[in-house]
Structure formats: C-alpha cells, structure tokens
Amino acid sequence: MGEVEKLRDIPTINKKIKEGDIVVLTAEEFIELVENEGKVGKVAREVDVITTGTFGVMCSSGAVVNLGHSDPPIKIERAWINDVPVCHPGAAVDLYIGASKMSEIKPFEYGGGHVIEELVKGNEVELRATAYGTDCYPRTQLLTRLTKYDLNQFILLNFRNAYQKYVCAVNSSDETIYTYMGKLYPRIGNATFSGAGALNPLTRDPTYRSIGIGTRIFLGGGVGYVIGEGTQHNPKAGFGTLMVKGDAKKMKPEYIRGAAITGYGTSMFVGLGIPIPIIDMELARSAAKRDEDLITDIVDYGVPRRERPVLGKVSYAELKSGRIVVGEKTVKVSPLSSLPMARKIAMELKKWIEEGEFYLTEPVERLSTDTEYKPMKMVERVVYVGNIVRRAVKCREDESLEEVAERMIKNAVNHIVIVDDEDYLKGIVTSWDVTKAVAEKRRRLKEVIVRNVVTAYPTDTVEEAARRMKKYDISALPVVNMEKKVLGIVTAEDIAKLWGARMR
C-alpha cells in the first residue's frame, strides 16, 4: 500500500479559521461537489472541513445536575423531578436524569427527556426527594422548584449517541407492534429506519481517525465533547457509538426534545454534529461516500428475540427515497431521525466554524476499532414455548358441535384446535364458545369457530406467550410452525403451573 497523501493538520485548520479563510462544506455539499468533479482529489485539496449532523431519538442519554445544599442539608436517597424518578448515583445532591425514565403519574407520555427539555428551555421543574437522615445530613424530606439557573451544574452526559448506522425495521408477525423503532404494521406493511446516512458523523470517518476522546462537537445547540466510545460500541460490524458530554445550560431547546414512543416509553431527541477535518486522502475518500454506498440490514422486529431474522439488505439512498423492496413487497419506509434537523445542525456547525466561533481539536486518544460487543451472560434458563407445548386436541371443520363437546370432556380440555386434513390451522373453539352456542341454539360448528387465531411459535419465550394471552385476554395459544401447521397448544394453566413451581 502506498503512502496516503497528507493534506492538512488541525493547527493549520485552526489558523485558517482564525484568519477567516477556512473552507467548510456540509457532508452533503462535499459529496455533491465530488460527484460533480468526478473525483475526490481536487475537492479534498480545497475543502478543509466538512460538517455532519444527526437528530434522532437516543435513549442512552441524560443529564447530571448538582443542586447545591439545602439547609438543613439532605443526602438524597430517592428523588423525582416532575414525578419522573431520577437517579442519585453519587454524593448528597448530585442527580442523574435518565432520558428514558418515565413519569410515575404520566408514564409513556412524559419522562426524563421532557424534564431535560424543560430545563434547557429555562422552565421551572419540581423536585421532590426523600432521605434516611444522618448526623451530617439530617433532612429526610425535600420539596422545591428549580430552573437551570439555580443549578450548579447541568451537564448533558450521554453514554451512547450517534450510532454509525442502524438497522431498518419491519414486522412479519400478524399484528401491529409498537417498538423503539416505531409503529410497525403486520405482514411487513411498512418499515422504519434511523440515522442520517451520509450526514451521520461516524459514517464519514468509519475508522475513527479524526474523531476521538476530546473531539469538540455540536451538542444540543451548544458545544460538547466526545469523551470516549459509547456503550455497545461495535466497530467491527460498523456500529460504532460515542459517549459525549456538554454544558446543557448553554444548549437550545430546539435541539434537545423529549419524545414519547407509544408502547415503548419515553426518550429524547438529541441533536449532534461533528466537524471532520479532511486531513488526508483516505479520510477524504470515506467522507465522500454516498448514501448509495451505506448498506444496512432489514431486520424482522416481529420476532421478539435478541437475534432477530435479517430479511435483506438496503442502502441509505433507498431508505431516504421513502420506499424499499422487502421480498416481493414494496413498502413505505419512515425515517425516525429528522433529516431536515440533521441538515440544519450541519449548516449551523458550518456557520460557527466559518465565523470563527468554533475551533477543531486533535483527539487525545483514538476510539477503539476492535471492541467486541458481547451479548448478556445468562445464568437463568429461559423457558420456551417449545419446552412446555402439549398435544393439541383437534377437530375438523365439518364435525358437529356435539363431537367437539364430547372431545373436550373426554380429554378434559377447554380448547379444541380446528385443522384441515394436513394439520393446517383453521380456527379454535373454546368451551365458552360451545356453551354460548348451546344457549343461542346454534348447532353448526362452522358458526362457532373463531378464525382469527392468536398463535405462538415454539421458539417464542413462555413470557412472550403469556404477554400475548394477557394482551388479547385469552387462555391458550395454538403452537404453529412458520407455515401455520399445528404443532400443539400452550395454555395459561400450563404457564401458571410452570411459574408456580419456580417460585417454590
């Protein structure tokens, strides 16, 4: 491999910023220019810095606040801000407001992200706290109202932000699901994706040559710093993440927004942008990569397991077009992070640099390129539906209601699964359905069958099966394979027995 052509270093860039003759483009402008020129060389020699931006829901975010001491002083044990439980991980009056922590009064509507947004806005929030009382901190109860101006420190401290890329989510199951990837229609009725593609900071510098510990960034409309790799940093798979901090007192509410994701919980939109110095040709080439070159997986969120099936690959260019092809279907795909806001951040950061308000920094240490991302070590055995499935008592559609009733009594079951000659699922009949049919003087099985059947796969966890029974208010699920052939049945009674035995 030949020597990489060096173009400029950080001190040269900062000198040019100071002298007012720096050349800055947003990542999108840079890519467009390279495309127009046909090659990267000339453009890279002219452009000193490119700016990036992303504005997405980033759950692993939060803020550290220091309240100062009350009189008499308190060593807070439990605390709530606007009814959102906040964590007190340190000494007496240091708190951490987690973005995804939900209000105890309005869960799923209001959470830590909303509290942080209100504080950034300058609004007053209500703090409640309790403590056990010590000789040095005698107070046990506290109620006060605060704004950011009353706090000693209000620091945004996000332990996982700015995913290099993220997957595209679909749902192959038979019901609409509400996930952290948004609302997903059944039978792959739509798709969602996250990330700003070519505007995403880490996609421009995928081996972290210019972004490292100490990199000064745009964070929430103010200035922040990269303080290390983010949690779940997975560089080998192209899923790098960042840990960042910044003075939230100086942030702007437009770039820090509370979010409420139906069925999932609350979180926070974070606006983040990073300047990429075009230090050499290698970085210039990665910075010129287009959305067409950024590929991610289409993942089936209909399977509620850690290893969700991958259904295909897709580029960010296809994702941003609004429609993608999954198998034989063309479906609309929703971005979940805001491209207009990402653009605005990249433009804003460009302006800061051009106007000499923002200088670049040399990372004091580079981010790891070989961190392994491990799954959780488990000590408890997880029980799957396949472990407790029992033989289903079955019937054909053309049998009589009497035969069904007899079979229920003979086998002492409450559920009869209706199948065709090849064991494909056709419906279900419960003892309640039979009783009701008798009361209403209906005689034909066909009129009684429930055809819209909620099912389980043997690979579902028992917990998931229980959650579905509760959701639909039913007491059994036929267990089927992918082709809807009946393998057996799992009942609420079986699950109750299993859990009862475990507790003993």
Partner 1 sequence: MRIMVRFKEEMISNPITSEVILEHGVPLNILWAKVESTGGELLLEIPDEKANEIVNSFRLRGVEVLTGRLIDVSEELCVKCGACYSLCPIDAIELRDGDVIFNEDLCIGCGLCVDACPTKAIKLLKVDRTLK
Residues forming contacts to partner 1 in the complex (CB under 8 A) are 55-57, 109, 178, 182-183, 185, 190-192, 257-262, 267, 269, 320, 322, 331-341, 343
Q: Which two tokens stand for residue 46?
A: 């002219």
Q: Which two tokens stand for residue 154?
A: 């209000």
Burial tier of 13 (Cβ tally within 10 Å: 0-12, 13-18, 19+): buried
Distance (Å, rounded) from C-alpha 275 to C-alpha 50?
6
Our CB check for partner 1 shows the closer of 178 and 432 to be 178
Our CB check for partner 1 shows the closer of 301 and 384 to be 301
Across 248-370, where does the E strand assignment appear?
256-261, 265-273, 275-277, 295-300, 310-315, 323-326, 329-335, 365-366
The answer to whether 120 and 256 have CB atoms below 8 angstroms apart is yes
Q: Which two tokens stand for residue 335?
A: 């971005």
Peptide bond into 72 cis (omega under 30): yes
Distances (CA, A) of 205 to 211, 342, 345: 7, 17, 18
Q: Which two tokens stand for residue 182?
A: 């948004």
Distance (Å, rounded) from C-alpha 417 to C-alpha 486?
8
| Least distance to partner 1, CB of residue 267, Å | 8
| Least distance to partner 1, CB of residue 453, Å | 19
Distance (Å, rounded) from C-alpha 317 to C-alpha 484?
36
**Known catalytic residues?**
136
Our CB check for partner 1 shows the closer of 337 and 361 to be 337
| Least distance to partner 1, CB of residue 137, Å | 39
| Least distance to partner 1, CB of residue 182, Å | 5
Our CB check for partner 1 shows the closer of 57 and 63 to be 57
Across 177-255, where does the E strand assignment appear?
177-179, 182-184, 191-193, 212-213, 216-219, 222-229, 242-247
Burial tier of 381 (Cβ tally within 10 Å: 0-12, 13-18, 19+): exposed
Our CB check for partner 1 shows the closer of 43 and 198 to be 198
Our CB check for partner 1 shows the closer of 208 and 264 to be 264
Burial tier of 67 (Cβ tally within 10 Å: 0-12, 13-18, 19+): buried
Compute how many other C-beta atoms are within 10 angstroms of the C-beta atom of residue 380: 6
DSSP 8-state symbol, 274 = -
Show contacts of 315-318: CB within 8 Å, 24+ apart: 315/291, 316/165, 316/193, 316/195, 316/197, 316/198, 316/291, 316/292, 317/197, 317/290, 317/291, 317/292
The answer to whether 200 and 51 have CB atoms below 8 angstroms apart is no
Compute how many other C-beta atoms are within 10 angstroms of the C-beta atom of residue 120: 25
DSSP 8-state symbol, 103 = P
| Least distance to partner 1, CB of residue 352, Å | 21
Q: Please list the residues that pair with 300 across neighbouring strands.
A: 170
Alpha helices in 372-430 (DSSP H): 385-388, 401-411
Distance (Å, rounded) from C-alpha 490 to C-alpha 228?
47
Total residue count of the chain as it appears in this document:
504
| Least distance to partner 1, CB of residue 121, Å | 12
Our CB check for partner 1 shows the closer of 159 and 269 to be 269
| Least distance to partner 1, CB of residue 336, Å | 5
| Least distance to partner 1, CB of residue 335, Å | 4
Our CB check for partner 1 shows the closer of 84 and 480 to be 84
| Least distance to partner 1, CB of residue 260, Å | 6
Our CB check for partner 1 shows the closer of 57 and 299 to be 57
